[in-house]
A and B are shown apart, each in its own frame.
Chain A
Amino acid sequence: MGSNIILKVENLGKQYRLGLVGTGTISHDLNRWWNKIRGKHDPYLKVGESNNRSEKGNSDYVWAIRNINFEVKRGEVLGIIGKNGAGKSTLLKILSRVTSPTIGNIKTKGRIASLLEVGTGFHPEMTGKENIYLNGAILGMTKSEINSKIDEIIEFSGCLRYVDTPVKRYSSGMKVRLAFAVAAFLEPDILVVDEVLAVGDAEFQKKAIGKMQDISNSDGRTVLFVSHNMAAVRSLCTRGMLIENGEISAISDVDTIIEKYLDKNTVRNTFNPKNRSGNGIVQVSDISIYGKTKKLPPENNQSFKIDIDLLNTQKINSAQLRLDLKINDYLGQRVAWLSNYLSDIDRVEEIKNVTFSVPRLNLNQGSYFITIDLYVDKVRSDFLQNVISFDVMDGNFYNNGRHIPIQESKILMDFNTEINGRNE
């Protein structure tokens, strides 16, 4: 049993002092030292609260992470997700030995190398090749290891023509490519990766994800992967861990974890109208917007529903009512107009709810705003401008991983391409 576990984290915690280092630093240091020589515990370790940053605490000390316990098996790819500031980076920093824990320990059976940020230690005055050696050595490779891989690294980076040029002449994209290439050819037993895939153009990102998959699948390397890119987490990881306020809130298979995370963290803009106009015979009481299931956020290429509950005290029927729903993009430009007036439905008495459903959502990823205009017998009854917003996630609409840049088009159109030419 134990032999298969490559990394074991036990009761790990890290405490930080809030506020400025300065006033009180020496007095706290002296107090600590005084307690230590008397054989007592550090007086400041007891205090400290869990890390809910939005609340004002009583203590100057907080636990960035606390009570972290988990095990990783050899060859496993563990995705670590959580909100900004949940403690993911602190955990990775401790794992990669950049800083040490306050309590607890980590036991490992392999070398850990981290890709916290690519390009660390690049010297602008040195050439690409010299930087490959330096960067590789910083990441823990020996010179002979780099020698044996230098050609592959240069080829992967796609900077062959520039390897003898100082890095300061590189474009930022080239720097990133070069740095990722070095890191990708590291061969540690455990690789810690933080958000590196967020850089580079789409083509390079694809290459990078492919390389990551190779590392974990064919080489059987253990990877700890932190990202906010759920698509990347889903495609790479086998297991997931959700961190909230510095503590592990769940460890499970990756789909469950992602669902849990999205459920908690999508901005559920609650229906809370402030400015409404109209005579108020029928009023909107609630709107919910969701994707494939009620728990999932909207995603293009998937089904999509807008569910509107109505407060209808005067028993208005569907023939009297007209509900227009307008969708604007974040710039305020109209992208869609839905209405019950456009579809023929049988008359329904005393309506309580209108649901618009889209079988395959064709909006590009981004934020959208909904405006509702409601008429009873051709008189405006309720008007709600930009009453709620929703985010559409990227769901690989064209099924080939390619995207239309958000600024180019809001609408994704289904189409076929036929190319004719001279027949041989």
Chain B
Amino acid sequence: MKITEDNWLYVISPRKKLIDFNFKEIWRYKDLLFLFVKRDIITLYKQTILGPLWYLIQPLFTSLIFTLIFNNLADIPVNEGVPNFLFNLAGITAWNYFKECLIGTSDTFKKNENIFGKVYFPRVIMPMSVVVSNLLKFGIQLLVLLSFYIYYVGFAEPRYTILPQFNLILFPVLVVFMALLGLGFGMIISSMTTKYRDLTFLVQFGVQLLMYGSAVMYPMVYFKDKLPNYYWLIEWNPIAIIVESFRTMVFGVGDLDSNKLIYTAVMSCLIFLIGLVVFNKTEKSFIDTI
């Protein structure tokens, strides 16, 4: 009988190749992805009194504070014809999804050390499930935004005449960019923290700093007017572009910059791919260094 060497199902060997994804395998574990999502959703607010209301409280209060501090106190103007509060709420809603994806995935290895140390499944399922379960939270926050939008347009005195642009149909694409960016950065950070714990300290305040550079509580034009020398800092920040584009779509003020959107698309995919490569490299041996 001929010994066929190539009919092995798979070979476990030291990691040599840089890019080595087994998409078929990830597909086989899709049920696990959804079970993790379900777990996150049903267990997050167990034994809390307000439960999912926490999804609403956080963005509402943040927007309120932002309106008080940045608009009323510091007199930062928002886009013309847009209520201050709504402007902040839109920015925070978009920013929050990115932030939640980033923070939720940035400690993947450390948080799941226990389970990763015992069983094998494609590790990337874990951060992916975080991104998917955050979608629910994002959806709820969008509904909040929508209700305030309707209030300002239909019931507030004086009425606002803002109208979403037709290009709002591109909105899901923006969500994908945010997910890819959050996931990409999260995977890079989680991979590096397995060896160098310093990064855990960086993430918390780094995200805080990034928020100020991401046009969350001011329009990009205003920044350009006031600080033209530093404009490059935020001009090419993909998150800032996403947040700004989101507001442009919803409020119908200004135009979408297609060059910047293409740039953002390229950056998102790039960051995501780098994240995936680093993550894949780490998952094979992180259990020895964590």
Q: Is A138 an interface residue (CB 8 A)?
A: yes
Q: For B2, give the chain A residue with the smallest CB separation.
A: A2
Q: Is A360 an interface residue (CB 8 A)?
A: no
Q: Is A98 an interface residue (CB 8 A)?
A: yes
Which residues of the partner chain B approach A114 to less than 8 Å between Cβ atoms? 118-120
A109-B7, A120-B114 as given contacts; A100 in contact with B121, CB under 8 Å:
no
Which residues of the partner chain A approach B28 to less than 8 Å between Cβ atoms? 142
0 or 1 for each of A90-107: is its CB under 8 Å from B? (1 = yes)? 000111111111111111
Task: Scan residues 1-55 of chain B and give those whose CB is less than 8 A from a CB of chain A.
Answer: 1-5, 7-15, 28-29, 31-32, 35-36, 38-39, 42-43, 46-47
Which residues of the partner chain B approach A102 to less than 8 Å between Cβ atoms? 14
Residues B118 and A107 in contact, CB atoms below 8 Å apart: no
Task: For the complex formed, measure the closest distance between the CB of A116 and the CB atoms of chain B, giving whole angstroms.
Answer: 5
Residues B287 and A98 in contact, CB atoms below 8 Å apart: yes
Q: Is A43 an interface residue (CB 8 A)?
A: no
Which residues of the partner chain A approach B32 to less than 8 Å between Cβ atoms? 137-138
Q: Is B259 an interface residue (CB 8 A)?
A: no
Task: For the complex formed, measure the closest distance between the CB of A31 and the CB atoms of chain B, giving whole angstroms.
Answer: 15
Q: Is B116 an interface residue (CB 8 A)?
A: yes
A95 to B10, CA, bound (A): 12
Count of chain A residues near B, Cβ 8 A: 45
Residues B4 and A2 in contact, CB atoms below 8 Å apart: yes
A302 to B15, CA, bound (A): 51
Task: For the complex formed, measure the closest distance between the CB of A389 and the CB atoms of chain B, giving whole angstroms.
Answer: 36
Q: Is B77 an interface residue (CB 8 A)?
A: no
Interface segment, A121-129, A150-158, A246-254, A348-356? A121-129
Count of chain B residues near A, Cβ 8 A: 41
Task: For the complex formed, measure the closest distance between the CB of A215 and the CB atoms of chain B, giving whole angstroms.
Answer: 18
Residues B117 and A138 in contact, CB atoms below 8 Å apart: no
Task: Scan residues 96-126 of chain B and give those whose CB is less than 8 A from a CB of chain A.
Answer: 114-121
Which listed residue, B2, B14, B31, B284, touches A137 by the CB 8 Å rule?
Answer: B31
Residues B120 and A97 in contact, CB atoms below 8 Å apart: yes
Residues A123 and B39 in contact, CB atoms below 8 Å apart: yes
Q: Is B195 an interface residue (CB 8 A)?
A: yes
Which residues of the partner chain B approach A133 to less than 8 Å between Cβ atoms? 35
Residues B31 and A108 in contact, CB atoms below 8 Å apart: no
Q: Is A345 an interface residue (CB 8 A)?
A: no
Which listed residue, B4, B13, B121, touches A140 by the CB 8 Å rule?
Answer: B121
Task: Scan residues 70-116 of chain A and give those whose CB is less than 8 A from a CB of chain B.
Answer: 93-111, 114, 116
Which residues of the partner chain A approach B4 to less than 8 Å between Cβ atoms? 2-3
Residues A116 and B12 in contact, CB atoms below 8 Å apart: no
Which residues of the partner chain A approach B119 to less than 8 Å between Cβ atoms? 96, 98, 114, 116, 120-121, 138-139
Which listed residue, B35, B196, B285, touches A99 by the CB 8 Å rule?
Answer: B285
Residues B115 and A121 in contact, CB atoms below 8 Å apart: yes
Which residues of the partner chain A approach B36 to less than 8 Å between Cβ atoms? 134
Q: Is B204 an interface residue (CB 8 A)?
A: no
Which residues of the partner chain A approach B12 to less than 8 Å between Cβ atoms? 94-95, 97, 100-101, 105-108
A98 to B118, CA, bound (A): 6
A376 to B289, CA, bound (A): 65
A116-B119, A138-B115, A139-B119 as given contacts; A2 in contact with B39, CB under 8 Å:
no
Q: For B284, give the chain A residue with the smallest CB separation.
A: A100
Residues A126 and B42 in contact, CB atoms below 8 Å apart: yes
Residues B118 and A117 in contact, CB atoms below 8 Å apart: yes
Which chain A residues have a beta carbon within 8 Å of chain B's beta carbons?
1-3, 8, 16, 21, 25-26, 29, 93-111, 114, 116-117, 120-121, 123, 125-126, 130, 133-134, 137-140, 142-143
- Give 14 CB contacts A-B under 8 Å: A1-B1, A8-B8, A21-B289, A26-B196, A106-B13, A107-B11, A110-B9, A114-B118, A120-B115, A123-B39, A130-B38, A134-B39, A137-B32, A143-B31
Question: Given contacts A95-B12, A120-B115, A130-B42, could you give 18 more A-B pairs where the C-beta distance is less than 8 Å?
Answer: A1-B1, A8-B8, A96-B120, A98-B118, A99-B287, A100-B12, A100-B284, A101-B12, A101-B13, A105-B12, A107-B8, A110-B9, A120-B114, A126-B42, A126-B43, A142-B31, A143-B31, A143-B35
Which chain B residues have a beta carbon within 8 Å of chain A's beta carbons?
1-5, 7-15, 28-29, 31-32, 35-36, 38-39, 42-43, 46-47, 114-121, 195-196, 284-285, 287-289
Q: Which 6 A-B pairs have the closest CB atoms?
A: A2-B3, A105-B13, A97-B120, A137-B32, A100-B284, A106-B12
